[in-house]
Amino acid sequence: MKNIATIILAAGEGTRMKSCLPKVLHNICGKPMLEYLIDNVNSIGIDKVFAVVGHKAGLVKQNIRGVKCITQNELLGTGDAISITRAALLKDNKIDNVLVLYGDTPLLSQGIIKKLIEKHVSSSAGATFLTAQLKNPTGYGRVIRSSNNKIIKIVEELDASIYEKVIEEINVGVYCFNKRALFYGLEKIKPDNKKEEYYLTDTIEVLTKSNILVESVTSNDSEEFLGVNTRAELGKAELVMRKRILDNIMDRGVTVIDPGNTYIEHGVEIEKDTVIYPYTFIENNVKIGSNCNIGPFARLRPGTVVGDKVGIGNFVEIVRSCIGRETKIRHQCYIGDAVIGKNVNIGAGTIVANYDGKEKHKTVIEDNAFIGTGTILIAPVKIGKGAITGAGSVVTRNKNVPAGKTVVGIPARLLNKYKK
């Protein structure tokens, strides 16, 4: 898709979110909503992606990658936001069409975006936009059609008459414009509406009045075009996204005992025949092998990689750690910044003290080691192959336990010193 550029509008404050964080940076399943849109357009092969930023622009720029940001200094409406991309788009002769997305519709699928572009290109329309039929259309722009079903214009909720308000066909907020038609339309719109803003939606009427073809694609999936304007809608989006992630994971042969009470974030990979028990949280990009049992009540945080046939039980928290195959960490443990080998047993209540108040340190536990119940390992420290720690021992920093040896006590000492 070489001749298409995408503009994602992300300058708004999102007042209705009542937040210090710009709306588009709010997370859904561990990933900022804006990133879902960027990833989707990149995956369908569009590499010219612009984001219009404004409210806390610096913060938005810092937190997103893979887009060229253009700053809208004064938030004068969606039409104004597109107008400021004019210079960047017009100077690139290779761009014929412009896909416009709003940063607050993170559930859009690649499929519907592709369908919209295909229809736009095949019909050579000036603009093609996505519509949907909603039983409760409140809050959305309404699509006004003539008696022979031709699109006339889009009317915003605030400006709609009582007759227009009952229309159930809404503007989803996804458009594909011919570049010249877009800027032709934008030149003619005026802020004569209740909000006194330049509405992108008003370009539709400009085009139809000039006899430029405007097409639409209608989606039946009411979930995917949810616009996130409030915390309640953010919660809804989270539910939909979580279900998508879980369905995808189950499709790959993973058992999720209770999908309604299992929380898996984006980018998580789990191999087949692993079973996830309820109230388990698996955060961004964690990787889990096959035939593992995870949970109930386990929390695997970012940077965790788990091998095959591993058992992780209740109230176990793991972060930035690798767990080797067939290792068992069954009850009430904290493991941070550790590399744990194969077939290790981590006893109930083991704590890896990885943070000394200033820095985090590494812990290594080699294959076949046996960590006794209630052991505290103060990092940095290494437990050698097949070594054992006694129940309740505190292995202090840098007091590495040699392979095959046993340590006990506080601070932990080699057991065989006292043995004949």
Residues contributing to the site for ligand UD1 (CB under 6 A): 9-12, 52, 54, 72, 75-78, 80-81, 102-105, 140-141, 154, 156, 170-173, 199-201, 227, 229
For the bound state, the minimum distance from the C-beta of residue 296 to Ca ion, rounded and expressed in Å, comes to 38
Contact at 8 Å (CB) between 253 and 272?
yes
Q: Is 104 in the site for Ca ion (CB under 5 A)?
A: yes
Question: Among 139, 227, 302, 374, which residue interacts with Ca ion (rule: CB under 5 A)?
Answer: 227
Range 62-91, binding Ca ion (CB under 5 A): none
Could you check whether the bond before residue 402 is cis, i.e. omega within 30 degrees of 0?
Answer: no
Q: Coil, helix or strand for 93?
A: coil
Q: Which is nearer to Ca ion, 9 or 344 (CB)?
A: 9
Q: Which is nearer to ligand UD1, 130 or 256 (CB)?
A: 130
Q: Coil, helix or strand for 364?
A: strand
Q: Is 197 in the site for Ca ion (CB under 5 A)?
A: no
Q: Which is nearer to ligand UD1, 32 or 77 (CB)?
A: 77
User: CB count, 10 Å around CB of 187?
Assistant: 11
For the bound state, the minimum distance from the C-beta of residue 136 to Ca ion, rounded and expressed in Å, comes to 16
Q: Is 139 in the site for Ca ion (CB under 5 A)?
A: no
393 binds, among Ca ion, ligand UD1, none (CB under 5 to 8 A by kind): none
For the bound state, the minimum distance from the C-beta of residue 53 to Ca ion, rounded and expressed in Å, comes to 16
Contact at 8 Å (CB) between 290 and 308?
yes
Q: Which is nearer to ligand UD1, 12 or 341 (CB)?
A: 12
Residue ranges with strand state E in 165-246: 169-178, 214-219
CA distance 166 to 188: 28
For the bound state, the minimum distance from the C-beta of residue 253 to ligand UD1, rounded and expressed in Å, comes to 36
For the bound state, the minimum distance from the C-beta of residue 157 to ligand UD1, rounded and expressed in Å, comes to 8
137 binds, among Ca ion, ligand UD1, none (CB under 5 to 8 A by kind): none
Q: Which residue has the tokens 């192959």?
A: 385
Q: Coil, helix or strand for 337?
A: coil
CA distance 83 to 73: 12
Closest-approach residue to ligand UD1 (CB): 141
User: CB count, 10 Å around CB of 137?
Assistant: 20
Token pair of 259, please?
Answer: 């999908």
Q: Is 202 in the site for Ca ion (CB under 5 A)?
A: no
Strand 169-178 vs strand 97-102: parallel, antiparallel, or unpaired?
antiparallel
Active-site residue, 331 included: yes
Q: Which is nearer to Ca ion, 236 or 331 (CB)?
A: 236
Catalytic annotation, pick one of 120, 266, 331, 361: 331
CA distance 337 to 355: 9
Sign of CA dihedral 288, 294, 295, 298: negative
Active site members: 331
Interface ranges with Ca ion (CB under 5 A): 104, 227, 229
